[in-house]
Amino acid sequence: MTNGKRFGRCIIIDDDPDILLSARLLLRDLFAEVAAFQDPQEALAAMDAELPDVVLLDANFGRGATDAAEGFRWLGEILKRDPQAVVVMITAHAGIGVAVEAMKRGATDFVSKPWSNERLLATVRTAASLRTSRAEVVTERSKAKAIATAGETPLLGSSPAMARIWSLIERAGPTDANVLILGENGTGKELVARELHRRSRRADQLLVSVDLGAVAENLFESELFGHVKGAFTDARADRVGRLQAADRGTLFLDEIGNLPLHLQPKLLTALEQRRIVPVGANKPVPIDVRVIAATNCPAEQLSDESRFRQDLLFRLNTVEIDLPPLRERREDITGLAGHFIAQYARKYGKPVRELPAEVAQALEAYDWPGNVRALRHACERAVILSDGAAFTQEDFSLSRGLSPSRAAPAPAPVASPRHDLNLERVEKQMVEEALKKHSYNISLAAAELGLTRASLYRRMEKHGL
């Protein structure tokens, strides 16, 4: 009768003791606790002690009353104590007008007297599931907020290239337009997304991020749209998807180019209809989200219909922001390095050492294939390892990687893997070759090397790439 799922607590409020007894006996297998009250004030006191999953509230308490005024008053009191409360109104037979008004005032559903036991059980079970889903949304948003505020770095740069980016952010930010951010790995696409969110009308809501490059293909639907218990083998409980968790806020879809072609129509439908259907569910859930997407795929790859649906692309790129690589805004490098050096000096309790002019010039001469992310890692390493009064090029591990056309003499070529048996050197060379072959597209390079994105990032960090 209860489909094996038992909820926490139900409160029933009705002035008829027979109704209370009947409802309590019917619902006792559905809840761990069913509390019945003839006096609404006592029920409110019980709510103050512990919030219920569902409240069943009678619409009329006085003898002969039919206008539901008392029920509406107590409904308001319940929602004051718990704005997320799930309240099912109990109305007189054919009191459809009262039921509609109750739902306008915040009730979740209604049942009519005399009720059908099956109808009451189905209504209350659905209401309790809604309460669970709302709690999961709060949990997901709390997690997203914690992630969003952890280790946050500002978007920095005053070069002409970045001035153009700031201009686009200032104009697009206050709108609800979807934005597509293009750029190589490490250029700061997520920072641009956060800046757009900060300047939007949704800034007081959450920015929920999803790295589609880190989600297994068989979990894409569940991650984005959520699922219900039993939808697949490991679905042991209902789960709220990221689209629903971002409701009224902003959803940041990183690595959108990794979204499988067969799932792209479902995302397009969700964005167009502004509603989702969790995996295994039949009832759609309305959503109100602004989507900011990002990819390191070149524009010509996104224009390939065999890889990416053009109707979805048009939906995503109402505004398009193309972030320049660090080598195209070299005048920002010294300022960025100074910011990162100060940041990591504070973090590790190290002195802020001098950055000599010749070292700054070397930093600006380097092509930084990993862009701002690589510069940040190099500065962190320099702060940790430097033991002199001032930084040197060796502290930043630049002596092995300077661009031959702009800086120091090129290092001697590394022996071919066929002749070099040193595993460290061979691994580094293979990683470099894969990155260069795919223009530093991490997903494609990782796939060619047979690695996950996370494993490739670890190897890049290990070899100073």
What one-letter code names the amino acid at 99? A
Instruction: Give yes or no: residues 57 and 185 share one domain.
Output: no
pLDDT tens-digit map of 9-65: 899 999 888 889 989 898 988 998 999 999 999 999 998 888 898 999 988 876 666
* CA atoms within 13 A of residue 93's CA, in its CB half-sphere: 4
Instruction: Give yes or no: residues 293 and 413 share one domain.
Output: no
pLDDT: which is higher, 427 or 182: 182
Instruction: Give yes or no: residues 17 and 113 share one domain.
Output: yes
Close Cβ partners of 260 (under 8 Å, ≥ 6 residues apart): 217, 220
SS3 at position 376: helix
Q: How far, CA to CA in Å, does 454 sit from each of 302, 428, 445?
A: 24, 16, 12
Which among 324, 339, 366 is the end of a domain? 324
Instruction: Give yes or no: residues 158 and 307 share one domain.
Output: yes
CATH of the domain at 198: 3.40.50.300
Q: Which residues pair with 54 in a beta bridge?
A: 10
Which among 299, 324, 349 is the end of a domain? 324
Q: Which of 118, 104, 7, 98 is nearest to 58 (CA)?
A: 98
Q: What are phi and psi of 304, to 5 degrees?
A: -85, 110
Q: Spell 344-369 as b/e; 16+ CB within 10 A means b.
A: bbeeeeeeebebeeebeebbbbbbbb
Q: Spell 51-69 as b/e; 16+ CB within 10 A means b.
A: bbbbbbbbbbbeeeeeebe
Instruction: Give yes or no: residues 173 and 318 share one domain.
Output: yes
Say if 158 falls within a structural domain. yes
SS3 at position 56: strand
Say if 141 falls within a structural domain. no
Length of the chain as a residue count: 465
Instruction: Give yes or no: residues 97 and 163 share one domain.
Output: no
271 in Cβ contact with 315 (< 8 Å): yes
Number of Cβ within a 10 Å radius of residue 83: 8
Which among 324, 358, 379 is the end of a domain? 324
Say whether pLDDT at 296 is over 70.
yes
Instruction: Give yes or no: residues 124 and 62 share one domain.
Output: yes
Instruction: Give yes or no: residues 312 and 402 share one domain.
Output: no
DSSP per residue, 248-291: TSEEEEETGGGS-GGGHHHHHHHHHHTEE--BT--S-EE---EE
CATH of the domain at 380: 1.10.8.60
Sheet holding 7-13, edge to edge: 31-37, 7-13, 54-58, 87-91, 109-112
Say whether pLDDT at 142 is over 90.
no
Instruction: Give yes or no: residues 413 and 443 share one domain.
Output: yes
CA–CA distance, 435 with 325 (Å, rounded to integer)? 15
Stretch 104-114: mean pLDDT: 84
Say if 2 falls within a structural domain. no
Stretch 115-137: mean pLDDT: 80
Stretch 359-381: mean pLDDT: 92
At 153 the pLDDT is: 59
Q: Spell 235-257 as b/e; 16+ CB within 10 A means b.
A: beebbbbbbbbbbebbbbbbbbb
What one-letter code names the amino acid at 89? M
CA angle 321, 209, 218 (to 5 degrees): 110
Mode of pairing for the β-strands spanning 31-37 and 7-13: parallel
Say if 439 falls within a structural domain. yes
At 421 the pLDDT is: 61
State the pLDDT confidence band at 291, using cuts at 50, 70 and 90.
very high
Say whether pLDDT at 112 is over 60.
yes
Least confident piece of the model among 66-80, 176-190, 243-257, 421-435: 421-435
> Percent of the chain having pLDDT more than 70?
86
Say whether pLDDT at 414 is over 50.
no
Instruction: Give yes or no: residues 11 and 80 share one domain.
Output: yes
Q: What are phi and psi of 287, to 5 degrees?
A: -135, 155
Instruction: Give yes or no: residues 269 and 396 share one domain.
Output: no
Say if 145 falls within a structural domain. no
CA angle 393, 378, 389 (to 5 degrees): 50
| 375-378 contacts, C-beta under 8 A, 24 or more apart | 375/326, 375/333, 375/336, 375/337, 375/340, 376/153, 376/336, 376/340, 377/461, 378/464
- Looking at the structure of the chain, the number of domains it has is 3
CA–CA distance, 155 with 126 (Å, rounded to integer)? 45
Say if 428 falls within a structural domain. yes
Instruction: Give yes or no: residues 225 and 286 share one domain.
Output: yes
CATH of the domain at 88: 3.40.50.2300
Say if 286 falls within a structural domain. yes
DSSP 413: P
Say if 48 falls within a structural domain. yes
Domain that holds residue 356: 331-462
At 132 the pLDDT is: 74
Q: What are phi and psi of 246, to 5 degrees?
A: -90, 5
pLDDT tens-digit map of 264-276: 998 999 999 999 9
